[in-house]
Amino acid sequence: MTQTKKNQLMANPAKPYRRKGYINQRQLSTMKKIVLAVTILVLCSLLCTQVPAQQQLTMTIWVDKGCGGEYFVGDMLTVNWSVSHGCEITFWEVRPDGTRRKETTQPVFTGAGEGSMGWTLKDEGYGRRGVYAEAFSPLWGRATAQCEFYVRKKAADINVTVRDQDGEPISGANVSLNGTFVASTDTSGNVIIPEVDFGEHTITVQYEGEEQTSRMRIASTQKQFIEFVFTVEKRGSIQVRVFSQKGDPIENVDVYIDGFKEGLTSQDGTFTVSTAEGDHFVEVKYQDAQASQRVTVVKNQTTFADLTIYLEVYTTLSVFVKDDTGNAVADANVYLDTIFLGRTDSEGKVEERTTPGPHTVRVEKQGYNPSTQNTQIEEGGNTVTVVITAEDAAAYGILALLGFLYILKRRH
C-alpha cells in the first residue's frame, strides 16, 4: 500500500479499509445460527424417524375427581398427568358446545413421570366439559390425551307426589315453592319442580280446601323426592233414570238416597247426585207407586240406577143393567171386583173411572137374580151390559109360606 492511501484511511476512520472477501463479526454470528438451526432440524428429523415405537412419547391425564366427576362453577379443577419422556404440554378446556379455550399461555415443561396443575372453573356452561392436553418432544414425538368431567348447577329437581290415604294418586292438587305456585299434579299425582337452588325451601300443597307444608334442604344435584298424603272422601255419582212400564221417562219423581230425599227427576226422567263411594239404597216415589234398587258407587265413576214405576192408567167404564126383556133396570147395585161402584140411574146406567185390565162386574137387586160377568177393560171408553132376570114368583111364595109356618111353630 502506498503512503498516499494510508494517509487517506487515517484521515477517514468511519470507512475502514476492507480487503476483498473480508467477513465481519455480525455476519459470522448470523451464519452460525443458521447452520445450528439446520443441524438441529436435520438431527430431529433423523432421530424422530428412527425412534422405536416402544420409545415414543406417551401421556395420560386425569382430574382430581376422576374422569366423569362432577364439579360446580368456582371449584378448583386439578389436572394430573403422566408422561413417558420429557416434553412440553399445552392444556385446553373443552366447553359444553365443543369449543376449546387454552388454559396455559405457555407450554408446561416437564420431565418423564407425573405432575399436576389446576385452575378455577368458570361459568362457561353446564353439562359435559373436558380437558384436552397435547404433549411435544423434539426427540420423542407428540401425544394427546383427554379427560371428561361435568359441571353442574348448584340446583336439583324436586319430585312432589300427592296421594290419598289408600296410596292412590291425587290429580289437580296445587303445588307451590316458597309461596309461588308451580303447577298442579297430573294423573299420576306428580309435579316436577326443576332446578331448585341449594338451600332451604318451603313446599306447599293445597287440595280441596286443605293445605299441607313441608321444608326441604337442597345440598345435592341428585333429584329430591317428597310426598304428601291427604285424607279425602272418595266420591262418585249416581244417575237415576225412571221409566214407566211402557218405557216412557217420568218427570218430577221423588228420588231418595239412603232414605234422604235428594231431588226430582227432570223432563227426561233422570236425576244425578254426587255421593261417597260404596253401597247405597236408591228409592223413587211417584203418586202411589214406588221402586227401589241397591247400587255400588266407585270413586270418580258414574253408577246408573234404572227404575221402572208401574203407573195406573185410568179409563171410563159404563155399566148398563137390563132385564130379560131389554128394559133398563134402575136402582141396581153394581160392583167391580167387589168394590161398589154405585146404583143404576133411570136409564139403568152406572159410569166410573177404573184401570185397564181384567175385571169382574156384579149386579144385584132385590127381586132379581144376581148376575156376574167377566170383562177385559181397555184404555179409553168401555161399555158393559149386564142382564139380570126376575126371581120366580111361585117359588118366592112357597118360600114365604114356609117361613111363616116356621115362625108360628117357634111361637107355639
- Do 326 and 354 lie in a common domain? yes
Q: Which three cell numbers stand for residue 70?
A: 362432577
DSSP track, 312-357: ---EEEEEEEEETTS-B-TT-EEEETTEEEEE--TTSEEEEEE-SE
- pLDDT confidence tier of residue 14, bands split at 50, 70 and 90: very low
> Is residue 75 domain-resident?
yes
What's the number of domains the chain is made of?
4
> Is residue 16 domain-resident?
no
- Do 225 and 239 lie in a common domain? no
CATH of the domain at 137: 2.60.40.730
- pLDDT confidence tier of residue 394, bands split at 50, 70 and 90: low
Q: Residue 44's pLDDT is what? A: 54
- Do 305 and 319 lie in a common domain? no
User: What is the C-alpha to C-alpha distance for residues 335 and 329, in angstroms, rounded to an integer?
Assistant: 15
Q: Which three cell numbers stand for residue 68?
A: 366423569
Q: Which of 152, 175, 195 is the last residue of a domain?
A: 152
Q: Which of 230, 245, 265 is the last residue of a domain?
A: 230
Least confident of 186-190, 281-285, 325-329: 325-329
For residue 291, the cross-strand partners are 284
Q: Residue 353's pLDDT is what? A: 84
- Do 60 and 148 lie in a common domain? yes
Tens-digit pLDDT profile for residues 128-140: 999 999 999 999 9
> Is residue 302 domain-resident?
yes
> Is residue 49 domain-resident?
no
For residues 227-252, average pLDDT: 92
Tens-digit pLDDT profile for residues 28-62: 677 776 767 666 655 555 555 444 555 899 999 99
User: Which carries the bigger pLDDT value, residue 40 or residue 19?
Assistant: 40
Residue 234 has pLDDT above 90, yes or no: no
- Do 329 and 362 lie in a common domain? yes
For residues 69-97, average pLDDT: 95
Residue 192 has pLDDT above 70, yes or no: yes
Q: Which of 281, 309, 337 is the last residue of a domain?
A: 309
pLDDT over 70, % of the chain: 85
The mean of the pLDDT values for the chain is 86
Residue 326 has pLDDT above 70, yes or no: yes
Q: Residue 45's pLDDT is what? A: 55
> Is residue 222 domain-resident?
yes
Q: Residue 150's pLDDT is what? A: 94
Q: Which helix (H) or strand (E) holds 168?
A: none
- Do 165 and 226 lie in a common domain? yes
Q: Name the residue range of residue 70's domain.
A: 56-152
Tell me phi and psi for residue 223, to 5 degrees. -60, 135
- Do 85 and 148 lie in a common domain? yes
Tens-digit pLDDT profile for residues 303-320: 999 999 988 777 888 999
CATH of the domain at 322: 2.60.40.1120
Sequence-distant (6+) residues with CB within 8 A of 297 are 235, 236, 237, 238, 275, 276, 277, 278, 279, 280, 303
User: What is the C-alpha to C-alpha distance for residues 405 and 200, in angstroms, rounded to an integer?
Assistant: 121
Three-state DSSP state, 36:
helix
Residue 355 has pLDDT above 90, yes or no: no
Which letter, b or e, does each residue of 107-139 get, where b requires 16 or more Cβ atoms within 10 Å of its Cβ? ebebeeeeeeeeeebeeeeeeebbbbbbbebee
- Do 142 and 197 lie in a common domain? no
Sequence-distant (6+) residues with CB within 8 A of 137 are 57, 85, 86, 87, 88
Tens-digit pLDDT profile for residues 269-313: 999 999 988 999 999 999 888 999 999 999 889 999 999 998 877
- pLDDT confidence tier of residue 161, bands split at 50, 70 and 90: very high
Q: Residue 266's pLDDT is what? A: 94
User: Which carries the bigger pLDDT value, residue 18 or residue 159?
Assistant: 159
- Do 88 and 147 lie in a common domain? yes
- pLDDT confidence tier of residue 412, bands split at 50, 70 and 90: low
> Is residue 40 domain-resident?
no
- Do 181 and 258 lie in a common domain? no
Q: Residue 300's pLDDT is what? A: 85
User: What is the C-alpha to C-alpha distance for residues 288 and 298, in angstroms, rounded to an integer?
Assistant: 32
CB atoms within 10 A of CB 379: 12
Tens-digit pLDDT profile for residues 357-366: 899 999 999 8
- Do 60 and 147 lie in a common domain? yes
User: What is the C-alpha to C-alpha distance for residues 141 and 131, in angstroms, rounded to an integer?
Assistant: 21
Answer whether 274's CB lies under 8 Å from 209's CB: no
CATH of the domain at 207: 2.60.40.10
> Is residue 35 domain-resident?
no
> Is residue 207 domain-resident?
yes
- Do 226 and 246 lie in a common domain? no
* One-letter-per-residue 3-state SS of 179-215: CEEEEECCCCCEEEEEEEECEEEEEEEEECCEEEEEE
